Amino acid sequence: MSGEKKSVSKTRPKMSWDKVIDRAETIVFRLMVGGSMGTCFAVSIGTTPESHYLYYMFATALHVVKDVAGSDEPIYMVASDGKTVCEAKAGCYAIFPLGSEAFDTALIMVKSSEQVVTQSDLLPIFGPESQMPRGTEIGIVGFPGIVESEFCFFKGIISGYLSNPPTYLVDAVGINGISGGPALDSYAQIIGLVSSYIPNKVDQYTTLPGLLTLIPIGLIRYFMESKMKAQVL
């Protein structure tokens, strides 16, 4: 993540964080699959002329779902009110890893006859050419595993970058369960997804606060537009 830094045109009004959270809450879900638990968020909705089904595309971290890809395990998505909004059994969903495991990015396509989110709920997604500058304040939402189905907000600062693979380093809290959750700017645009936390281990007995890592969302946008011909905000 080096070279010229570009950002998405700010055509939307800047929002307070509580408004950003309200917008994000409708598309973000606790994801339970096999023995894993994380966070996912909706990025696209599609239909086909010959079917009454809706096809939802959700983004998450690959490490949350990699052990069940190709298995018969059902997946469950739970909303912030604690209600299961989606229970997809084998044959009704497909997992698409994007790139190698180092990119830690996956899409889940779910076929459903029920409405999970609406087109108007979806949020804009940064393109592959966009990059947040150092010092930018961002928000992160997800479902920490230490509390039951509680939708939580975390605030962080873009601290730096890694280049292989492209990664944001963020001064923010990292808690099990928020992996795969979206990171947003103050215009309610999705900039990335939570991948991991790098602890600052001084020695075998002492661990200090470290850095959260975010995978830029541009990889997902590129894949959906170029490979799946999906329309993305």
In this structure, the answer to whether residues 89 and 138 fall within a common structural domain is no
In this structure, the answer to whether residues 110 and 139 fall within a common structural domain is no
In this structure, the answer to whether residues 88 and 174 fall within a common structural domain is no
Residue 161: predicted pLDDT: 95
In this structure, the answer to whether residues 173 and 102 fall within a common structural domain is no
In a domain, 6, yes or no: no
Residue predicted with more confidence, 119 or 206: 119
In a domain, 1, yes or no: no
Q: Give the largest Cα separation in the chain, rounded.
A: 61
In this structure, the answer to whether residues 35 and 110 fall within a common structural domain is yes
In a domain, 166, yes or no: yes
Task: Report yes or no on whether pTM surpasses 0.85.
Answer: yes
Q: φ and ψ at 64, to 5 degrees?
A: -75, -35
In a domain, 3, yes or no: no
3-state helix, strand, coil in the chain (%, to 5): 15, 40, 45
- pLDDT at 229 > cutoff 80: no
Residue predicted with more confidence, 93 or 11: 93
Last residue of a domain, one of 122, 145, 161: 122
Cβ atoms of 68 and 95 within 8 Å: the answer is: yes
In a domain, 198, yes or no: yes
DSSP bridge partners of 155 = 139
In a domain, 68, yes or no: yes
The H or E element that residue 63 is part of is: helix 62-65
In this structure, the answer to whether residues 118 and 177 fall within a common structural domain is no
In this structure, the answer to whether residues 37 and 117 fall within a common structural domain is yes
In this structure, the answer to whether residues 32 and 107 fall within a common structural domain is yes
In this structure, the answer to whether residues 101 and 154 fall within a common structural domain is no
In a domain, 205, yes or no: yes
Give the tens place of pLDDT for each residue, 92-133.
999 999 988 999 999 999 999 888 999 999 999 988 778 899
Last residue of a domain, one of 76, 96, 122: 122
In this structure, the answer to whether residues 111 and 139 fall within a common structural domain is no
Domain count, the chain: 2
Last residue of a domain, one of 94, 122, 150: 122
Mean pLDDT of 23-29: 97
Mean pLDDT of 146-167: 91
**Domain range for residue 195?**
17-22+123-220
Q: Write the burial class of residue 118 (CB in 10 Å: 0-12 exposed, 13-18 middle, 19+ buried).
A: exposed
Q: Strands 36-47 and 54-60, how do they pair?
A: antiparallel
What CATH code is carried by the domain that includes residue 143? 2.40.10.10
The full DSSP string for 136-155 is: -EEEEEE--TTSTT--EEEE
In this structure, the answer to whether residues 116 and 99 fall within a common structural domain is yes
